[in-house]
Amino acid sequence: MAGYGIAADVPARWHARMLRGALHVATVSLPPERRPIGPTLSHRLGLDDIGLLLFEAAPIERVPFDSSVYRMGPARPFAGRDFRAHGAGPGRHSFARRNFSVDGRYFDLFVESGSSRPTSNRLAELNELVRSLEIEAGDFYPGRAAPARFRRAGGWVTTSSGTVAVGPSTYSIVLASTVRYRNRLNEFPPHGRSSVYRATGSSSG
């Protein structure tokens, strides 16, 4: 299976779907695209099932991006000890994760097992898939997108991240305030010494 510069060999009898900036793979049938993939897939997993979700992340202009959490190089295979229980999952499900970067592209890889630890056979199939992942360098999401806009309103000031490059997931930040917004665009609600709250307080005093 391949698309958007991402390729993978899916194990026999596993189900897979390639989307813009995402790869969904599971030992059970995948939920419809219109449904939230994480919780919906989680409730379908039986004791011997595994679900894998790969998402591509990308820096967005004027929005802080912490690349230090991504390990350089292909995703490492999983061991049974990598799987940990999580209170948000149903039953005895367990979860494992990899963050990695290849050829300037960043990926978050999430794996969920329907049991506290996947069987050796399932783990071998999972690692077969992980090792087969191939990432191609390049821009597979060309173009730029304009930010959303608020209608003009008296007494309100707007600011935005401006036109941004299209990416695996594209979003812009648009803010409106009754005073000039002085914080970083992704710092909302604002806080700190230079926050808009401080400006609001001084203007009303």
pLDDT at 158: 86
Name, in order, each residue with C-beta under 8 angstroms of 139's C-beta and a sequence gap of 6 or more: none
What domains sit in the chain, N to C, each tagged with a CATH number? 2-135 (2.60.120), 141-205 (no CATH)
- In whole angstroms, give the CA distance from residue 107 to residue 80: 21
pLDDT at 145: 84
pLDDT at 200: 40
pLDDT at 205: 31
Nearest in space to 5 (alpha carbons), one of 152, 144, 125, 134: 134
Q: What is the mean pLDDT of each run of 10 residues along the chain (205 residues)?
A: 97 96 97 92 96 91 81 98 77 92 96 96 98 95 85 87 79 81 72 48 33
- For the record, the structure tokens of 82 come out as 């990598």
pTM for the full predicted model: 0.75
Element (H, E) at 124: helix 120-132
Q: How many CA atoms lie within 13 A of 145 on its CB side?
A: 16
